[in-house]
């Protein structure tokens, strides 16, 4: 681990911290949102992001139009 971190220019502490939690909470929430949006979109492919935003609260997810459009 020490040699790998030295070659890549990482600190050992940062590497071990990443090893414990490799995915940030924001990335996890974004992935759940994208999966829910894809599920809604698969049911009716004509839905635009504005209609998907209206359907998300039924799945228990609250997100704004801009965030859904970005993802």
Instruction: Calculate mean pLDDT across residues 30-52.
Output: 82
pTM for this one?
0.67
**Amino acid 14: pLDDT:** 86
Instruction: Calculate mean pLDDT across residues 64-68.
Output: 85
The helix or strand, by DSSP H or E, that contains position 38, with its residue range, turns out to be: helix 25-43
Whether residue 66 has pLDDT greater than 80: yes
Whether residue 50 has pLDDT greater than 80: no
**Amino acid 31: pLDDT:** 92
User: C-alpha angle 19/22/26, rounded to 5°?
Assistant: 150
C-alpha span between 20 and 11 (Å, rounded): 15
Q: What is the mean pLDDT of the chain?
A: 85
């Amino acid at each position: 681990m020490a040699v790998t971190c030295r070659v890549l220019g990482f600190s050992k502490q940062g590497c071990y911290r990443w090893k414990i939690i490799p995915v940030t909470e924001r990335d996890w929430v974004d992935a759940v949102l994208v999966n829910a949006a894809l599920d809604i979109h698969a049911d009716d492919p004509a839905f635009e992001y504005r209609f998907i935003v209206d359907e998300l609260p039924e799945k228990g997810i609250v997100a704004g139009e801009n965030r859904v459009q970005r993802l």
